[in-house]
Every structure is written in C-alpha cells, then in structure tokens.
Structure 1
Amino acid sequence: MTNKDLQKKQAAEAALQYIKPNMIVGLGTGSTVSYFLEALAKADINIVGVTTSQVTSQHCADLNIPIVDIDEVDHIDVTVDGADEVDTYLNGIKGGGAALLMEKIVAKNSNENIWIVDESKVHATLGSFPLPIEVIPYGNGQLFRQFTDRGFFPKLRRQANGDPLVTDAGHYIIDCHLNNINNPYALAEYLEGQVGVVEHGLFLNICDRVIIGGETVTIKERQKTNTEQV
C-alpha cells in the first residue's frame, strides 16, 4: 500500500466515528470512499446508504450494505465523500470520478457533509486539479469554444477507446485546466448561467468537516456564517 493509499484508509476509518446506528448515510464515489465502504461493512453499523454512482451501488452490493434511492428518503443524516481538491475554507473541486452531479444532489440534501482526503488534496487555493463541468451532449462543442475563448483550456473527457465519456446521467464532461481559481464564487455563477451546463465541480459552502489522513489524522471544521445558520 502506498503512503497516499494509507492516508486515504486512515481518513476513511476516522470517518466512522460520525456514523451512528439507524442513520441514512450518503455514500460518495472514488477510491477514498471505497476504503470507507470497506471499513463501514467491517464495523457492521446498521445504516442505510444513498449512493452517488453505479460504481458505489455495486460496491455496496458486494459488501452487503443496504441502499435506497434518494427519493425513498425524506432526509440524509450525513454524507461521506472524497474530494479531488480542498482549500483552506473547505471549498473543493469534485468530479474526477465523473459522479459530480449525483454527488452534489446528495450533498445538498444532507444534514452534514464530511470529506475524506489524503494530504495531497489540500491546497491554499483551488485550481491545481482540473475543474469538471458536466454538459449535455447537444451543443457541447459550443460550450467548448466558449471555455476556450475564456482561457479555461478545456478538454473533453474521453474513454480509453477515444469515445467521449458518458456519465451515469447520460452527459459529457469537459475538464477545464485553470491552475488557479481566484474567485470560485464568481466562476460558479458564470457556469450556472451557461445553457447546456448541467453542473460543475465547484463544491462551495458544502463541506462541514474534512478528515485528512497523514502521520496524524487531522479534522478541520468549517465555520458557518450567520446567513447559513438561519
């Protein structure tokens, strides 16, 4: 096991302390979440999961973790997910696993969101990891040109055979290489105003707690503003 994988496992196992019996738990997607699912199954805590991808649903089936559709529940107690990048304000970039749309739906309907990451994912500002933008196939080339004109250095995500990658929801993903995102809120507002953009990988004011694996596991909590607490 590499040091990075060890840190992912440490963070995943540390997240178990926030999982209580009879909870409805949102289950993210990705390699770090895989470690969490394995730890959750081993702990044998009586929960029901709401998954964010077909991959996670299959992993839950393999581990005998019961799951339900998101529209079968009236709330989600806590969601545990990974992140491709997280900044000092606990904002992040997600979507490296092509599940950002469903991940954001589950996150937005959760009472609490916990991210589990290794040390390499933590940066002062966002942008080191390409920003995934989920778009409908029709007219995706028009959006690609717009993003190129704005200096986003877009790249259509493709499968190994060269065909465009298609998400579980039937969309394409354009990865934008921005290097440094000075104002993620303004960027999010711009993207949300573009016809054909389904969702973007900026997860802002969503994460409540991040667990960082390492020589010592670090847990950071986001301080909510007065507006968010209302």
Structure 2
Amino acid sequence: MTQDELKQLVGQAAADYVNANVPEGAVIGVGTGSTANCFIDALAATKHRYRGAVSSSLATTTRLQSHGFKVLDLNEIDSLPVYVDGADEIDHSGAMIKGGGGALTREKIVASVSDVFVCIADTTKRVDVLGQFPLPVEVVPMARTAIGRRVTALGGVPVVRVTKDGAPFITDNGNEIIDIKGLKIGDPRALEAQINAWPGVVTVGLFAGRGANLCLLGTDTGVETIQYPRD
C-alpha cells in the first residue's frame, strides 16, 4: 500500500473508533495534517452524530466546515471525550514528535483537555528513539536567537523554519518555529519539560507528558491497535 492509502486506512479506522466509542451529541477534537484530513473525510458521513468539533488549526477548521461540521471554540465546551491527530514520530511508550505542520501549540492545548488521545499514523512514523524527525519549537520571534543558542548547547542544530519564498514561517498564533535537528531523545518527558521552561518558548513539539492513549497504526496487513498506559 502507498503512504496515502495507509493514511486513508487509519483515517477510516479512527472514524470507526469514534463512532463506536463516543456518544452522540459529543464534541470531538481534531488535529492537523494530511492524516487528520483523512479522518475528517471519513467521519463526514456521520457528522450528524456530533454537536461539533474543536479544531487545532485554521486549516483544519476550513476542512471541517467544508464537510458541514460545526466548529466550536474550546472555551465553549465542558468536556472533550476524544482527540484524533497524526504524528511525525511515535515511540513505543506513546510519546510523539508533532508540529511538522506548524500547529503544535493548539494541538497540545486540545490534546491536554481530551479524555482519550488517538494517534493515527503509518508504520514509517513508529520509531525506537525520537529525534530523527526535526523537533519543532514554537517561539516568540524576539527570542529566536537566544533559544537557538540554548539548542546548540544541547547538541542540536537549530534551523528557523521558512516558507517557499524564504520568509519566516508564521504560526496561526503569530509566532515562529525553530526545527531542531540532530537530537536523539532518550527521555522525552525530561526534554519536554526542559525546553518548555526556556523564556520565549511557546511550545515544544514533544508530546510525552500528554502522549497518546491509543495508536491506530496503518500497516500493509491492516490497522494495528496499540494501547499505551498513561499516568
């Protein structure tokens, strides 16, 4: 199967999971990226079951609304039974690197209030040690250089994310992203806490303190369901 076919496979599996486990009238949380888009497309057939969705990005909001979903502000809801999103990497504990699409801050906010975090990914995203995919860090622009020095001291290589025309990539929150290359992340929770404590960091794209509860992993033989114990 191609990677696109695997994404469609896990998108449908996530829609089936949500339809089977989330009560009618609930609000669902939806992530950002091509795999999350496959989930949105698959869930559209049963959108009438849900009061609406909380979106992690402007792009996801547009996708949801194009299918007729009502998009709610997180401040308008009391509970979020499930959050479905992809990952750039996921390890065997359910810790992830996310943020390749630039929506890491809103993704982390929505994930933090969900009861169940369902990661949807293909087998290329499962790794033994996080870090081959560059680790995104959303930063306040004035802190970019200072945070870059801290990254270098960690042994990483900071690269400011840019658009196709060479301008700094700007997140939905008006900030910039530094992608850290060259790290082998043996303790994702510790590194997440360390980087989040740096002044000027908005969010680091490590999802370890709040990792996945469940991964629906697309393989050539079907969808593998992996459960992760959470504290």
* Pairwise TM-score range, normalised by the shorter structure: over 0.9
Of 47-56 and 202-211, more deviation after overlay is shown by 202-211
Counterpart among 101, 105, 108 of residue 104 in structure 1: 108
How many equivalent residue pairs? 224
Partner of 1:7: 6
Three-state SS of the structure 1 residue aligned to 2:142 is coil
Q: Which runs of 5+ in 2 are unaligned?
A: none
2:222 is matched with which residue: 212, 216, 220?
216
State the TM-score, normalized to the length of structure 2: 0.93
Distance 1:8 1:196 in 2: 35
Identity %: 35
Q: C-alpha displacement at 1:43, in angstroms?
A: 3.4
Any residues of structure 2 matched to 1:1-230 within 5 Å, and which?
Answer: 3-19=2-18, 20=22, 21-47=24-50, 48-204=52-208, 205-214=210-219, 215-224=221-230, 228=231
- Tell me, in whole angstroms, the C-alpha distance in 2 between the residues paired with 1:23 and 1:222: 24
Runs of 4 or more consecutive aligned structure 1 residues displaced over 6 Å after TM superposition: none
Query: What 5-or-longer segments of structure 1 have no aligned partner?
Result: none
Q: Is the 8 A contact 1:108 1:206 kept in 2?
A: no
TM-score normalised by length of structure 1: 0.94
Please tell me the root mean square deviation across aligned C-alpha atoms, in Å: 1.3
Q: Secondary structure in 2 aligned to 1:112?
A: strand
Equivalent pair of 1:85/1:93 in contact (CA under 8 Å) = yes
Query: Residue type matched to 1:222 in 2?
Result: Y
Name the CA distance, whole Å, in 2 between partners of 1:138 and 1:75: 35
Write 1 or 2 for the structure with the bigger share of strand: 2
